[in-house]
Structure 1
Amino acid sequence: MANVLGIDIGGTKIRMGVIDAGGKILYEEQIPTIIPLYPYLEENVLRILALRPDISAIGVGTHGFVDPKQGKVIYAAETLPGWTGTPIKEWLERATGKRVEVENDANVVALAEAKFGAAQGLDRVVVLTLGTGLGGGVLWDGELLSGGPHGGAAELGHMILYPNGVKCACGRLGCSEMYVSGTALRRRIKEAGLTITPPKLFENAKTDPAAKQVVEEFTFDLALVISSLQAAFDMEMVIIGGGVSEAADLWMKSLQHQLEPMLLNPLDIEVARFENDAGILGAALLVLEY
């Protein structure tokens, strides 16, 4: 089978990779996210197609609520200004002559981990991506739970965690991503009067009581999110990815401690195996498998 192009669109960067049927990354590159986004995306896709004529199809994982049937962004916060309403599939297929499939970025991470990573062989898996926001992907009986009439299925970061809490980019108060994400960690650090980065926070928590308190509040809220999801999905595993997961060895013990009394049943918690590659691999699977 010919190779495919996997594209992972985030708020600050876009990763693109040429991937074969076995999930091997043959070529990859990273470019900054530039607004207006669509013309820039098309220009770079056409450039890579010219370099790699072996590409047969294109899979796109993007920030935002996505209608996968139409391949259209239903809603994207101001992280990607002007991206709401973009018919990516229609426009890219017209520009390239290739088949294009589009999904939410956290959903494609779930696909990658289920096919090639930590969740191989499992049927019910929840993936949480802790980056700028809190993304969610749900594998339900081996199928991706996605779409919905407004493209909002499995938008786990927008479940309300604290009613009337911190205002989210979506306009509502108290969404989970305002407490469990890289952005949330930076706010918590500032509110605690600390002047350190999130990675440094986890290091300092070993000896600094103020840093330890911030970490424990963060892991408590993450445990709340996971326990609520277990009640809804009874999953076999939770996989945690995104930038915050890179320091998981420093906070996983705290999470497990907080989670233990909240769980209805035993639950495996794993760190995403692919880290930065999960987005392009999962996007590729949109056109390799379906």
Structure 2
Amino acid sequence: MIIGIDIGGTSIKAELFDANGQSQSKLKEIKTPIDYHKQTNDILNAVKQLVQSFLKEETQIEGIAISSAGVIDSEKGKVVYSGPTIPNYKGTNLKDEIEKTFKIKCEVENDVNCAALGEMWKGAGRTSHSFICITVGTGIGGAIILNQTLWRGFQHCAGEVGYIPVSDKTWQDLASTSSLVSDYEQLTKKNNSNGKLIFAAYEAGEESAQKVIKQLVDNLTKGLLPLLYIINPEAIIFGGGIFERKEILLPLIEEALASQLQDNFFKPDHIFGAELGNKAGRLGAVYHFISKNAFN
């Protein structure tokens, strides 16, 4: 059995899997212990407590697979860069600390990379040799699969696509869920909006919602174009909360690509919505663990 753990800025989720990626336990979830006032976190101890809780229930645990926010050196299992979402996280060596505490093999990989590996193994990417996975949420994250292998880059930060410049801003400034909500609230003078409310208004025919979603799609497409020209992927897989409404977004993206691409020749064969939801990261972490270790 392998414990799959997903460390995010809001919560830490953990689940037990077998070597075929089948869940063998109920999902455990705790709030990520972050103190923004003191600019500290207690993530390592929280992960240890989760692992300990599984060890009390299951003795045949042979691996611990971690998907984590931040730039991860997957050979060392160490956080080498982290933004303000998780303060004082850079330098945390999850692999060493977990292996030292539990004497169980541990592997660590970036969360969006894990989501892409999960989709490649069990989800929307399982029939594609090369694809780009784009996650749209508070920001925009990315991961690149080339010939069914994750491309990490020499500093382990390949796929940080949210920083791509679009006009005079970054891609995630213009095309994230945060920007969608901000644009909608600015246009309507409403507060406390969210993606679900905006899509409901879109379906009801509200002009403001239709305008900001069209703008979001246009900006998503602008950031996507250089990736298509440079990488030439077989498929694009979109994930993140708003792509629960992929039946609305994917046809609009297809239409925008058709009008913005130099030629339809450059279009990927497939544009998919992610299939695994928030389980993708844990499954991808398990896949990463299995690929690095002899495991049956």
Q: Which moved more, 1:65-74 or 1:179-188?
A: 179-188
SS in 2 for 1:47: helix
Aligned position for 1:54: 60
Q: Which amino acid aligns with 1:276?
A: N
Separation in 1, partners of 2:187, 2:115:
32
**Contact 2:144/2:158 (CA < 8 Å) preserved in 1?**
no
TM (normalized to structure 2)? 0.89
Counterpart of 1:44 (choices 35, 46, 50) is 50
Separation in 2, partners of 1:176, 1:52:
44
TM (normalized to structure 1)? 0.90
SS in 2 for 1:40: helix
Aligned position for 1:258: 256
Separation in 2, partners of 1:103, 1:279:
9
**Contact 2:243/2:249 (CA < 8 Å) preserved in 1?**
no
* Structure 1 position 24, deviation (Å): 0.7
- Structure 1 residues 254, 41: closer, same or farther in 2, change over 3 A? same
Asked if 1:102 is matched to 2:103, the reply is no
* Structure 1 position 262, deviation (Å): 2.6
Separation in 2, partners of 1:58, 1:275:
21
- Structure 1 residues 19, 190: closer, same or farther in 2, change over 3 A? same
**Contact 2:184/2:208 (CA < 8 Å) preserved in 1?**
no
- Structure 1 residues 194, 200: closer, same or farther in 2, change over 3 A? farther
User: Structure 1 stretches (4+) deviating beyond 4 angstroms?
Assistant: none
Asked if 1:234 is matched to 2:232, the reply is yes
* Structure 1 position 229, deviation (Å): 0.9
* Structure 1 position 56, deviation (Å): 0.6
Separation in 2, partners of 1:194, 1:57:
51
**Contact 1:123/1:142 (CA < 8 Å) preserved in 2?**
yes
Counterpart of 1:201 (choices 198, 201, 208) is 198
SS in 1 for 2:62: strand
* Structure 1 position 147, deviation (Å): 4.9
| 1:168-179 correspondence to structure 2 within 5 Å | 174-179=169-174
Q: Which moved more, 1:48-57 or 1:92-101?
A: 48-57
**Contact 1:66/1:147 (CA < 8 Å) preserved in 2?**
no
Q: Which amino acid aligns with 1:97?
A: K
* Structure 1 position 181, deviation (Å): 2.0
Separation in 2, partners of 1:102, 1:188:
36
Separation in 1, partners of 2:240, 2:99:
29
Deviation sequence 1:92-121 (CA, Å, 0-9, x none): 111111111111101001101111111113
Q: Which amino acid aligns with 2:164?
A: M
Q: Which runs of 5+ in 2 are unaligned?
A: 35-40
| 1:275-290 correspondence to structure 2 within 5 Å | 275-290=277-292
Q: Which amino acid aligns with 1:141?
A: N
Aligned position for 1:171: none
* Structure 1 position 87, deviation (Å): 1.0
Aligned position for 1:32: 31
Q: Which amino acid aligns with 2:253?
A: L
**Contact 2:250/2:272 (CA < 8 Å) preserved in 1?**
no
Counterpart of 2:276 (choices 267, 274, 279) is 274
**Contact 2:136/2:176 (CA < 8 Å) preserved in 1?**
yes
Aligned position for 2:97: 91
Q: Which amino acid aligns with 1:270?
A: F
**Contact 1:113/1:273 (CA < 8 Å) preserved in 2?**
yes
Deviation sequence 1:166-190 (CA, Å, 0-9, x none): xxxxxxxx22222222222222222
Separation in 2, partners of 1:93, 1:8:
17
Asked if 1:185 is matched to 2:187, the reply is no
**Contact 1:136/1:156 (CA < 8 Å) preserved in 2?**
yes
Q: Which runs of 5+ in 1 are unaligned?
A: 164-173
- Structure 1 residues 286, 68: closer, same or farther in 2, change over 3 A? same
Q: Which moved more, 1:26-35 or 1:12-21?
A: 26-35
Q: Which amino acid aligns with 1:103?
A: E
Separation in 1, partners of 2:59, 2:279:
22
Deviation sequence 1:116-141 (CA, Å, 0-9, x none): 11111321110011122211111011
Aligned position for 1:225: 223
Number of residue pairs aligned between Structure 1 and Structure 2: 277
* Structure 1 position 32, deviation (Å): 1.3
* Structure 1 position 240, deviation (Å): 0.7
Counterpart of 2:159 (choices 133, 154, 163) is 154
Asked if 1:143 is matched to 2:140, the reply is no
Q: CA RMSD in A?
A: 1.5
